[in-house]
Amino acid sequence: MTLKTKTQVCIIGSGPAGLVLSQLLHNSGVESILLDRQSRQHIEGRIRAGVLESGSVKALVDAGAGDNMLRVGLTHKGFNLAFDGEHHRIDLQGLTGKSVMVYGQTEVTKDLINLRLKQGAQMVFSAEDVRPTEVCSDKPVVHYVKDGKRYEVQCDYIAGCDGFHGVSRKTIPRAVRQTYERDYPFGWLGLLSDTPPVADELIYNNHQRGFALCSMRSPVRSRYYVQCSSDDDVANWSDQQFWDELALRIGTETAANLITGASIEKSIAPLRSFVCEPMRYGQLFLAGDAAHIVPPTGAKGLNLAIADVCILSRALIEHYKANNPLYLDTYSPTCLKRVWMVERFSWYMSKMLHQFPDNSPFERKMQRAEFDYIAASQTASKSIAENYVGLPLD
């Protein structure tokens, strides 16, 4: 026996993209159901991004999920680029009039889940065998299994917010979807610790031993990264080895302020650039990591996902409230134009700041020349600032 239910929008994936979309639709009276193959505990425990663009901050506030973020989040008006210990500050506020917010994706997710459940949202965690079908018909269906029982969600539209490994993108036939990708020959070894940050703002470091990033989640919790081999293993790194390597890469002056401690979490993240075109197939819309991946160098992954669902929520709301199909019809090209600009920025930052195995002394000199140009040119610094605080949604 299959249990059936109906809704207007079935959202696959309850990470920040799916949750923000569900909340924005709810605020305008559009019904949705959220499905996720993971448990709530797993979803809320994932350690991910921590820098929110000004547009992402506005989206969370508009959604009604910004109270805790505004209370404890850290407003940053700039960040630093460093090359072998020499620093150049990108003055975000002075160059663009905007800032960013440091607030962890884990907390964003918890805030949204709590709000959605408080409002009585239909959310299904630990849903197995999720399968979108009939996506090119007027009434697509999403099938899933929960506690051994089979369910069908009949809906008008499906939002695939289920990440790179989810089922949504794979629903689009191979003959229809075109993918573009690049795997980088290194990863980021990240360490989270309950220690005060080494600096008040983020520091992106290019060092001859490899990239390093000094970040934070709060005034008493730090997040640090060092570039490592793509086939490295966390087991190869003790906490002390990590701290020693980080201190070498950030330079003596910065390292003098480094407070070390036991790691709360340590992991290695691969770096990848990936884009799927189109982002719509029939009544199925892709958003976030289901459609694209950016290397974390420019702090864009979470922000790009939120931008997608802001565009998609507007399209769905216009359809339901004003019978206007324009934004649904133009969703994919509108998103992809922005996606490729964000991919460019993340690729540019990654190329400038990392040590590539095949880099010659010439490429190393070019990296240094790029840094010197940015440090000497307000126009170059402004270009980085504009991208970092976030591009317009359309």
Distance CA 36, CA 125 (A): 5
Q: At which residue do the structure tokens 């840094």 appear?
A: 371
Distance CA 182, CA 253 (A): 35
Angle between helices 54-63 and 16-27 (to 10 degrees): 50
Beta-bridge partners for 76: 100
**CA 219 → CA 69, 198, 225, distances in Å?**
14, 10, 17
Residue type, 233: D
Beta-bridge partners for 253: none
Distance CA 202, CA 215 (A): 5
Distance CA 200, CA 336 (A): 34
Distance CA 345, CA 294 (A): 9
**CA 337 → CA 57, 145, 288, 297, 309, distances in Å?**
22, 37, 14, 20, 15
Distance CA 375, CA 381 (A): 7
Q: Which two tokens stand for residue 31?
A: 């019904």
- Looking from the CA of 365 toward its CB, the CA atoms found within 13 Å total 3
> Annotated active-site positions, please?
76, 204, 296, 300, 388
